[in-house]
Amino acid sequence: MPHRGMDIHGTFQQFVGRFPALLEVQKIGVAVSGGGDSVALARLAAEAGLPVVFLHMNYGLRGAESDQDETFVAALAAELGCEFRAERVAPGNNSEEELRRLRYEWFAQCGVDAVLTGHTQDDQAETLLFRILRGTGPAGLSGISESSRHRIYRPLLALTRQEIRDWLNASGFAWREDSSNDRLAYRRNWIRHELMPLIRMNLNPKVDQALAGLAEIATDEESWLRDVVEEALVGLVSVEGDGIVLDCERFRLVPLALQRRMVRKLIEQVKGNLLGIDFAHIEAAIRLALEPEGNGRIQIPGLDLMRSFGLLRWIRLEVLAARSVRNYRIALEFPGLATLPDRAGIVQSTIDAGNPYNGNNSLLDWDRLRAAVDSENPLELRNWRPGDCYRRIGSESPEKLKELFQKHRIPLWRRRSWPIVVLRDTPVWAAEFGPAVEFAAGPGTRTSLRLVWMPDCRD
């Protein structure tokens, strides 16, 4: 193969030209393992005059060989006049996923403005083939992206591993070979050393380029579809505290292909990632959203999904686990603010004097209420409990709050913290439903009590 030194330099410069933000940062981390791809990347970045910081993670998995890699990378950084940082870790296991997680978590803590990694066209092809064989949707066909929202950049994706080694050899640059790259116990190594050669020999000698082309097409289409999904979600989703709520009736009108992408987006939005999520979880969420009626609940990795009255709430399991209060009871001050536990909002009380009544059915008669209160029977603010009932204005007889929840289609997850004010444990006021008739303000009211629930932080 002809020497492509100019092409390699040109490819790197073109990449930087597409991402001008790289020219404005103060520090650029380059992940340097000591292997050929990362060494080439480090040299290209340093020669381009970028403010390079060598980032090397030593897992200690190969004993003295791992330490020699670190020494080599440190010497290379010194040769190129670059800052060098190393991190030694003891992985909980040797899986590719665990090592990658540790590496990227460290990158985020290194104080650099961006990180360059040495992924090549070969890595792209192997990753895409692995995803296809394991099972992936259209989004997974995008493969490895040139850049990510975590400011990770991959300038060598257009180059093959062999092209990079030819350039290193022609330039007289040394690198280290990681002996673990030959261990077929790692799935990616098996694809690289066993499966890909068979495909090149028997099916397509240019399978790497074919898969890389597929990834490029999928990336462009995925970028366009992300905008379509964002637009489709407008008006269908609302934020409630630490979770979000989907309007199932409007979701039902969306084509299935778009529903799948919307669900995937919602999972990522609430959970923060798509780890552990597969096709079955996406389909389970869609089935729950499309139930013709009734309530339902499922859990998928990291998330709790609850359906009630045509709404579907999505919330992280860790948020539910952190809920500290099942029932609450709070002494109410007049006037004042009462903060409800577990982000259920605020109840504000204000007292209005001077014959404030103007037909407003939400006010209580403060004088009548105070006459019924004593030191042993104060007014208290607490959450709704099963069995609570009272007669409100316009009702001929007492109504159970549970029945009012049903009548007004209050979703199940909002009921637990629903605030009411009680006297002798009997409701005299309930949020949204107003005062009990015996304490409601009327034409003869001289001073009124106004209670307002602000559930901006409710579940």
Q: Which of 65-79, 137-151, 182-196, 243-257 has the lowest mean pLDDT?
A: 182-196
Q: Is residue 91 part of a domain?
A: yes
Question: 421 with 321: CB under 8 angstroms?
Answer: no
| CB within 8 Å of 347: residues ≥ 6 apart | 332, 337, 338, 340, 381, 419, 431, 451, 452, 453, 454
Residue 128 dihedral angles phi and psi, to the nearest 5°: -65, -45
Number of domains present in the structure of the chain: 3
State pLDDT tens for residues 148-158: 878 999 999 99
Q: Is residue 171 part of a domain?
A: yes
Please check whether residues 131 and 164 belong to one and the same domain: yes
Angle at CA of residue 249, ends 247 and 251, nearest 5°: 70
Please check whether residues 271 and 390 belong to one and the same domain: no
pLDDT > 90? residue 402: yes
CA distance readout (Å), 213 to 18, 116, 128, 225: 19, 22, 11, 18
Please check whether residues 85 and 149 belong to one and the same domain: yes
Residue 79 in tokens: 């040769």
Section 247-251 average pLDDT: 96
Q: Is residue 144 part of a domain?
A: yes
Please check whether residues 266 and 402 belong to one and the same domain: no
Question: 324 with 342: CB under 8 angstroms?
Answer: yes
Question: 54 with 14: CB under 8 angstroms?
Answer: no
Question: 96 with 178: CB under 8 angstroms?
Answer: no
Q: Which domain range does residue 80 map to?
A: 5-219
Query: Would strands 379-383 and 419-423 be described as parallel, antiparallel, or unpaired?
Result: antiparallel
Q: Which of 37-46, 78-87, 141-150 has the lowest mean pLDDT?
A: 141-150
Please check whether residues 129 and 189 belong to one and the same domain: yes
pLDDT > 90? residue 60: no
Q: Is residue 354 part of a domain?
A: yes
Please check whether residues 180 and 35 belong to one and the same domain: yes
Find the CATH number of the domain harbouring 42: 3.40.50.620
Please check whether residues 197 and 51 belong to one and the same domain: yes
Percent of the chain with pLDDT over 90: 69
Residue 173 dihedral angles phi and psi, to the nearest 5°: -95, 130
Please check whether residues 204 and 149 belong to one and the same domain: yes
pLDDT > 50? residue 459: no
Please check whether residues 264 and 308 belong to one and the same domain: yes
Please check whether residues 93 and 23 belong to one and the same domain: yes
Section 63-81 average pLDDT: 94
Domain end point (choices 268, 297, 321): 321
pLDDT > 70? residue 389: yes
Q: Is residue 233 part of a domain?
A: no
For 139-163, letters b (16+ CB in 10 Å) and e give: bbbbbbbbbeeebbbbbbbbbbbeb
Please check whether residues 103 and 11 belong to one and the same domain: yes
State pLDDT tens for residues 227-247: 999 999 999 999 987 899 999
Q: Is residue 227 part of a domain?
A: no
Find the CATH number of the domain harbouring 246: 3.30.465.60
What is the per-residue pLDDT for 150?
Answer: 82
Please check whether residues 59 and 186 belong to one and the same domain: yes
| Distance separating alpha carbons of residues 47 and 53, to the nearest angstrom | 13
Section 101-121 average pLDDT: 94
Q: Which of 132-136, 193-197, 424-428, 448-452 has the lowest mean pLDDT?
A: 132-136
Q: Is residue 370 part of a domain?
A: yes
State pLDDT tens for residues 340-381: 888 888 999 999 886 555 656 678 999 999 999 888 888 999
State pLDDT tens for residues 254-292: 999 999 999 999 999 999 988 889 899 999 999 999 998
Domain end point (choices 321, 350, 383): 321
Q: Is residue 224 part of a domain?
A: no
pLDDT > 70? residue 457: no
Residue with tokens 């066909």: 141
What is the per-residue pLDDT for 354?
Answer: 62
Domain end point (choices 219, 249, 273): 219
